[in-house]
Each structure stands twice: as structure tokens, then as C-alpha cells.
Amino acid sequence: MDPLILLDQAVAQEKVPRAIAKKVRLKMKMVQGAVQRVEKASGLRYPPYYIEPTLPVSKSGAEYGQMGVLFARVIPTTVTGNLVILVQFSAALVAYGTKGTIEAVAAHEFTHYVDLVRKISTGAMTSDERTTTLFQASFEDAGRTVPPKLLFSEKALVGLITRKFKDTLNDPALSKKVGDQWVAKNLPIHWVAPEENTIRVPMRVAASAIFDPAVLAKVAVLKEKKGS
């Protein structure tokens, strides 16, 4: 899977400037390095990932003036009837994020990925409750992860995630750059209501899903640790 295919299409359609796409392409080594760091620290393979050219932004009607950028997300989808779990990194994150932030985000999304595999493979998957405020969405996001210290052997990476994520990603410099150089310049944005930012997997697809055996083994270990 070419992680830049959607970005290239957006450039061809003149939705994203070539200069920004070039910046993203040059910084893909950071993304690859972040994935490799996560794989080494977890002993597991990272799921397929891609760069999303449209910036997902969550806006709540119940909280006037509040919005939150979804810099990355775990996206379950189906391909020829089979479940595939992808990690979506926004082009804005790659273009304007620092090496540390990109690594923290890649690791954070990996905790979501393992948690999703855990829930589906053990039959613990239930319909996510609808959320109506960004606070609720942030709270639930934090509850859909595996604690980093249980997943990663590298203490420095665990510390990085802890510093960068206080419910949501804490990077004021990145938020300002994205506001000034993406949002203010009317680059493509997809508005997502908090209640839409939920994971939905059809029962028949979940029941027949096939996962990486190493991830399932890790899930079993995590289950034992939680029960002990």
C-alpha cells in the first residue's frame, strides 16, 4: 500500500499545494522511523498506514467555539469482505509536526490498534456510546487504548507518550501552525461531529476477522496482566 496515494490524488486535483505535498514527502522518513521505533519497542508489526490529505476536525455544537483536530485515527475498513485496520495520519501532522510529536502520535495510535484487536478478538466489542461534546470524546479516546507501559519496552517512548498526551495531543506549536498554515488558508477540511468519531464494525465481519498471531499473543498476555 502506497501511503501517499491519496495525497498525490489531492495534488493532482489541486486541492493541496505541491509545496505542502513536497514537505510531507520529505518528512515521510520521520513517519517510517516512528513506525520502526514502535515496532522495536512492542515487538509487533505496525498496521498499514496512509497519509490523509483532508484534515479531520471535530466540532461540537454543544461547546461554542470549541474544535479539535484529529491528527491521526485508527480506521477499520473492509476489503473484499475482510476486516482491515488502518492508521490514518493527517498530512498536516506530517508537514508541521516535530519528530517527537510524530513518534508520540504513531505510538498512541498503536495503542488504539491493539485495543481494537483485543476487543474484536475477545468478543468485547460493543457499540460505542454517542458523544456530544469534545470533552466526552477526549475522555472516551483515552479509554480506548492499551496503557503504553504494558505495551512498550522502551521507557523513553512511554515517557514521550505520557508527556505529549494529556487526554488529547498536547502540542501548542503544532496547533498554531496548522491553524495558520492549513485552516486559515482554506486547505481541505472534513468536519466531524464528535458522535461520528466512533468505531463501527459489522458483526459478521468481526466474527470472521483474522489478526496477526503475534498481536493476539500480546492481547492474551495483556489480559493476564489485567486479571492479576
Bridge-based pairing of strands 67-69 and 55-59 is: antiparallel
Q: Is the pLDDT of residue 90 over 50?
A: yes
Q: Given this model, what pLDDT does residue 61 score?
A: 55
Cβ burial of 175 (10 Å; 0-12, 13-18, 19+) is middle
Phi, psi (5° rounding) for residue 29?
-60, -30
Task: Provide the mean pLDDT of the chain.
Answer: 86
Strands (E), 14-108: 49-52, 55-59, 67-69, 72-79, 82-90
Does residue 123 register a pLDDT over 80? no
pLDDT band at 58 (very low <50, low <70, confident <90, very high): confident
Query: How crowded is residue 143: how many other Cβ atoms within 10 Å of its Cβ?
Result: 8
Task: Give the angle subtended at the CA of 62 by the CAs of 58 and 65, to the nearest 5°.
Answer: 60
Would you state the pLDDT for residue 195? 66
3-state class of 68 per DSSP?
strand
Cell of 196: 461520528
Beta bridge partners of 51: 89
What pLDDT shows up at residue 204?
77
Per DSSP (E only), the strands in the chain are 49-52, 55-59, 67-69, 72-79, 82-90, 165-166, 168-169, 189-192
C-alpha distance across the termini of the chain, in Å: 40
Going from N- to C-terminal start, the domains of the chain cover 5-201
| Residue 109 and residue 96 in contact, taking contact as beta carbons nearer than 8 Å | no
**pLDDT tier for residue 205 given thresholds of 50, 70 and 90:** confident
Stretch among 64-73, 144-153, 179-188 having the lowest mean pLDDT: 64-73
